Amino acid sequence: QLYELDGDPKRKEFLDDLFSFMQKRGTPVNRIPIMAKQVLDLFMLYVLVTEKGGLVEVINKKLWREITKGLNLPTSITSAAFTLRTQYMKYLYPYECEKRGLSSPNELQAAIDSNRREGRRQSFGGSLFAYSPGGAHGMLSSPKLPVPSLGLAASTNGSSVPPAPKIKKEEDSAIPITVPGRLPVSLAGHPVVAA
């Protein structure tokens, strides 16, 4: 399939060379990578990345959007940079090192680590809605208002309900905390319905 993407004679030469190189190093290309429901053009990906100075340069200069456009992939794919980098590392980076020597695996690792750190800083510092594993229950907790102030009367159906615990605020004003659980509640003039 990769051979049929266009009639460029360099494509066949490149693919033959790439596949024999990968076979010799013990990592044959058995499956053609797919991206956005189409065959990922390894020839064009290699040409575009090496034109920009190789994988390490593309990572450091964040040129994946240009690569994505060059491959005619939808720019709406949010994971394009990660996916292209992963596929390039798997199928093309060893070949780039062998043929072009544009960078070393150590430089690649440094670029990936630097990119990760930057990504983390950005997502934690810049995100208004950062996910915090322990914070979800805080957003879902019951309102801290006493039920009677809402005009609701709590009916206990004869069972005793312990008083709500009080928490002292700095100014020593007590705020009632609602006890989690389901209590039957009635609105004025409506029958009691157990929740």
Q: How many other CB atoms sit within 10 Å of the CB of residue 24? A: 9
Residue 191 lies in a domain: no
pTM summary value? 0.59
Query: Half-sphere exposure of 160 toward its Cβ, with a 13 Å CA cutoff?
Result: 2
181 has a pLDDT exceeding 90 = no
pLDDT per position as a tens digit, 32-54: 898 888 889 999 999 999 999 99
Q: How many domains does the chain have?
A: 2
* 105 and 168 share one domain: no
| Number of other residues whose CB lies within 10 A of the CB of residue 83 | 18
DSSP 8-class letter at 187: E
- pLDDT in the model for residue 125: 40
User: Can you tell me the distance from the alpha carbon of 59 to that of 111, in angstroms, rounded to the nearest whole number?
Assistant: 6
**CA end-to-end span of the chain:** 61
Asked if residue 117 has pLDDT above 90, the reply is no
193 lies in a domain? no
> 69-113, pLDDT tens digit by residue?
999 998 888 899 999 999 999 999 999 998 989 888 899 999 999
Do the beta carbons of residue 36 and residue 75 sit within 8 Å?
A: no
Domain hosting 64: range is 2-126
Q: How far apart are CA 28 and CA 8, in angstroms?
A: 23
Q: Is residue 66 part of a domain?
A: yes
